């Protein structure tokens, strides 16, 4: 991350250093030139130059969230079903070991259960090639009112739930859960 920030800062500094007195470049115009690749919808949304530059830095670090591909659903093929089931089972099996080795406290440990599971599943599925925009974290409640987090995958055949309480992948409507909230990670749309 620091090397990426350094690269952006160097680009700004070079822009400032090469400007002559008559056409002196301000920091905001340098940031504009560095952030030229930012989509036009940001300007239409009224984001300031500062926000645009912040987005550029954020996207250098979290490219999966800011990727150009914005598919809203993925085709639910047999290959994808197998991949979802494999990731779900693997994370459900490994997470207790990972938590046992933790040497730090995290806020997620104090909130609803399953957030670590859902975030790890999301990360692995993005790494495997699924578009980030098709993956949503949600807080659900069961019949007893207990809440926990799940990962929802938007597919051509409906939303599929990856849950740390089961290795089965079920459609949202068949899950039996009440949905309290969802976060789709569409920060800059």
Q: Provide the angle, in degrees to the nearest 10, between the axes of the packed helices 115-127 and 78-101.
A: 130
Q: What is the pLDDT of residues 97-108, one digit of tens each?
A: 665 665 554 544
**What pLDDT score was predicted for residue 23?**
40
Compute the Cα dihedral for 37, 38, 44, 49 and give only its sign.
Answer: negative
Are the CB atoms for 149 and 133 separated by under 8 Å?
A: no
Are the CB atoms for 33 and 15 separated by under 8 Å?
A: yes
**Residue in the structure block whose two tokens are 């609803």:** 112
- CA 162 to CA 116: how far, in whole Å? 12
At 154, is the pLDDT very low, low, confident or very high (cuts 50, 70, 90)?
A: very high
Q: Quick one: average pLDDT of 155-161?
A: 94
**What pLDDT score was predicted for residue 142?**
82
- CA 9 to CA 15: how far, in whole Å? 10
Structure tokens at 92: 């459900």
Q: Which residues pair with 129 in a beta bridge?
A: none
Ordered by start, the domain boundaries in the chain are 2-61, 78-183
Q: Quick one: average pLDDT of 113-127?
A: 87
Architecture of domain 78-183: Roll (3.10)
Are the CB atoms for 108 and 115 separated by under 8 Å?
A: yes
> With 70 as the cut, is the pLDDT of residue 187 above it?
no
**What pLDDT score was predicted for residue 155?**
96
Q: What is the pLDDT of residues 36-92, one digit of tens each?
A: 444 444 444 455 566 666 666 666 666 666 654 456 899 999 999 999 999 999 998
> With 90 as the cut, is the pLDDT of residue 11 above it?
no
- CA 25 to CA 66: how far, in whole Å? 28
Greatest pairwise CA separation for the chain in angstroms: 70
């Amino acid at each position: 991350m620091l090397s990426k920030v350094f690269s952006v800062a160097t680009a700004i500094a070079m822009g400032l250093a090469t400007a002559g007195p008559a056409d002196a470049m301000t920091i905001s115009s340098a940031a504009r030139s560095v952030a030229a690749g930012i989509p036009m919808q940001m300007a239409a949304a009224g984001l300031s130059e500062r926000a645009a530059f912040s987005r550029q830095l954020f996207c250098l670090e979290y490219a999966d969230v800011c990727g150009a591909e914005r598919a809203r659903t993925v085709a639910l093929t047999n290959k994808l079903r197998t991949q979802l089931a494999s990731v779900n089972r693997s994370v459900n099996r490994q997470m207790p070991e990972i938590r046992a080795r933790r040497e730090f406290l995290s806020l997620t440990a104090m909130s609803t259960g399953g957030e670590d599971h859902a975030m790890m599943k999301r990360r692995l599925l993005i790494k495997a090639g699924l578009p980030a925009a098709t993956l949503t974290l949600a807080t659900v409640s069961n019949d007893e009112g207990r809440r926990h987090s799940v990962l929802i995958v938007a597919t051509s055949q409906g939303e599929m739930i990856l849950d740390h309480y089961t290795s089965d992948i079920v459609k949202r409507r068949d899950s039996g859960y009440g949905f309290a909230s969802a976060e789709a990670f569409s920060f800059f749309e």
